[in-house]
Structure 1
Amino acid sequence: MSECTSVVVTGALGGAGQWTVDGLLADGYDVVGLDQRLPADGGPDDADFFQVDLTDRGETAELLSTFEPDAVVHLAAIPDPTNHAGSRVFANNVLSTYNVLDAAGRAGARVVQASSESAYGFPFAQNLLVPDYLPIDESHPLRPEDPYGVSKVTGEALAGMTTRRYGVPVASIRPSWVQYPGAYQATTNREAFDLDELAALPAGRSPSGGAGNFWSYIDVRDFVSMVSAALTADVSGHEAYLCHAAENYLGVATSDLIDALYDDAPPCPVTGDDSAFTTVKAERELGWAPEHTWREAADADVAGPNFG
């Protein structure tokens, strides 16, 4: 393992947060978890937890200056724009990210933060957006029209600010829809999917159930493995990385899905049901590749962390 030994994890009691804390402990890190509340059962014995309002600059700065971590994994956020006022989603996510990244930079800590595929604008668009090209990579334009996606674009801009101001590396992970072994929510979408019904929709109409991210997903264990890889990778400045499973969760050829969705889609040189998003950059720079597929993980009997 690298010289990075102590890590602060924000949003430590969320679904991905708990798996991340658990994974980092297993990797031998000293972990401090931050969240809006404390774990009901105290949490894992080897981790410390603190209750904090990350939108409060003073609280955030005090805790990070006290811990002086080698790294910060920033996961805390309102995770979508559907159940809160848009202004609250944007203000919470942007202010908390500014406070965490600025405090991490002042502490000299490297940062791995959760951005989102929503930064591209596809998932929560009112009308179906057409990608410029496929497969989608990190260089594709970011065009969100919802407060969550815009908060993630702003978070990546803050990451760039942090690296320029303090010289610490920041990796922004853009995960797909996170799924949990044995409890894949994507299963409901797959069981309800009908390619003929998709093709019969009026042009430009966005269907329900997964079209916003082209039926992509990521197993939480692969998300955690990317966090671990980013903590030890030779990253300088700010870099963004897509975090997607290798295939869509329908088992349908991606080119057939794209043809059914759009009349004016770009060419789709994707083999079989391979994802519409490519993780080549993460494979090249982080040495990371997804290992889990819905075909085994959806019904897997895996005992995950449950200390939230």
Structure 2
Amino acid sequence: MTETVVVTGALGGSGSWIVDSLRAEYAVVALDRCLPDDQDVDGVDFRAVDLTEQGEVFETVLDADPSHVVHFGNIPHEEDHAGGRVYENNALSTFHTLEAAGRAGADVVWASSETVYGTHWPEPRLPDYLPVDETHETRPWNGYETSKLAGEAAAERVTNAFGVSVASIRPSWIQYPGDYQITPFRESFDVESAPRFGNLWSYIDIRDVVSLVEAALDAAFDGHEVFNAFAADNFLGVDTATAVEAGYGALPERVELAGDESAYSTSKAESMLGWTPTHSWRDAEGEDIDGPSFA
């Protein structure tokens, strides 16, 4: 019998790619604030749900009786929203979704954020060491970052209360093949005048986000685990330590980087989930790949 997975943020940039991939293996119940113009998508049942409304979330998730819940339905930044609104929306959405999943006995994969490490402050801080792994201290600055840590706390609560597993993924700046937003930053980079850059010139291709979600769905682990999600390289094509020292004027005391290796480690995802990123800006910047038709 085909298992059911609930995916929130189903019409968003990441959520739509996740839905499109998972529908080959699962019956997907796809949640977003509104319905797509085209709902005739094989393997997908679209539902309009406000994730900040507990009753709607509980009813929809419990009726679906899923084996897994994938939660990507958050406001992704504060660029055009007040910080308090972002925090309230994301904290409530994540709590209700994870709580419903726990009550349904469903394991969870959800999107936290790289920003919890504190490298996105108005004056970005140098990490304590490189590469940054999941044990690095978290240093939230704004409402968005704080909402993600609130979500990780909710993940702990759900695993404790209901015995389900939760994978909190901390993705880097997500890029889409053929439409890489990092390209202008790479082309204008000059090591002699480099400014600080909030995520240390890191990124991840959406296809690697999807494969990490799928790896987490397939994995067997207990409790709550946090996983970095980054491409294997920086997007500059220069040595990462050189770029960091140029932009920040210094390096941490401990630096274990080779060449253009990402400033963030994904070794935990490799060891626990068998996942490694496979896409690089070198190929993906010019790729012509259509995204999901319903997004």
Per the alignment, residue 79 of structure 2 pairs with: 82
2:115, 2:95 → 1: CA distance? 19
Q: How many residues align?
A: 294
**Secondary structure in structure 2 of the residue aligned to 1:59:** helix
User: Counterpart amino acid of 1:10?
Assistant: T
Q: 1:192 to 1:43 in 2, by over 3 A?
A: farther
Q: Alignment partner for residue 182 of structure 2, among 180, 183, 186?
A: 186
Per the alignment, residue 30 of structure 2 pairs with: 33
User: Counterpart amino acid of 1:287?
Assistant: G
1:58, 1:298 → 2: CA distance? 42
Alignment of 1:126 with 2:122, yes or no, is: yes
1:163, 1:292 → 2: CA distance? 32
User: Runs of 5+ in structure 2 lacking a partner?
Assistant: none
Q: Alignment partner for residue 216 of structure 2, among 209, 227, 230?
A: 230
1:4, 1:82 → 2: CA distance? 40
User: Runs of 5+ in structure 1 lacking a partner?
Assistant: 199-205
Tell me the TM-score normalised to structure 1 length. 0.93
- Give the RMSD, CA atoms, in angstroms: 1.2
Alignment of 1:56 with 2:53, yes or no, is: yes
1:63, 1:299 → 2: CA distance? 40
User: Counterpart amino acid of 2:180?
Assistant: Y
Please say if residues 244 and 250 of structure 2, whose CA atoms lie closer than 8 Å, have aligned partners that are also in contact.
no
In the TM superposition, what whole-angstrom CA distance separates every residue of 1:65-111 from its partner, at most 9, and x where no partner exists? 11110100000000012210000000000001010011110000000
Task: Detail structure 1 runs of 4+ shifted over 2 Å in the superposition.
Answer: 261-265
Q: Alignment partner for residue 24 of structure 1, among 22, 25, 32?
A: 22
Alignment of 1:97 with 2:84, yes or no, is: no
2:40, 2:94 → 1: CA distance? 24
In the TM superposition, what whole-angstrom CA distance separates every residue of 1:236-273 from its partner, at most 9, and x where no partner exists? 10000001000001101101011112334214221111
Per the alignment, residue 8 of structure 1 pairs with: 6
**Secondary structure in structure 2 of the residue aligned to 1:112:** strand
Please say if residues 183 and 298 of structure 1, whose CA atoms lie closer than 8 Å, have aligned partners that are also in contact.
yes
Per the alignment, residue 62 of structure 2 pairs with: 65
Please say if residues 9 and 33 of structure 1, whose CA atoms lie closer than 8 Å, have aligned partners that are also in contact.
yes
Alignment of 1:246 with 2:232, yes or no, is: yes
Per the alignment, residue 176 of structure 1 pairs with: 172
**Secondary structure in structure 1 of the residue aligned to 2:133:** coil
1:119, 1:156 → 2: CA distance? 10
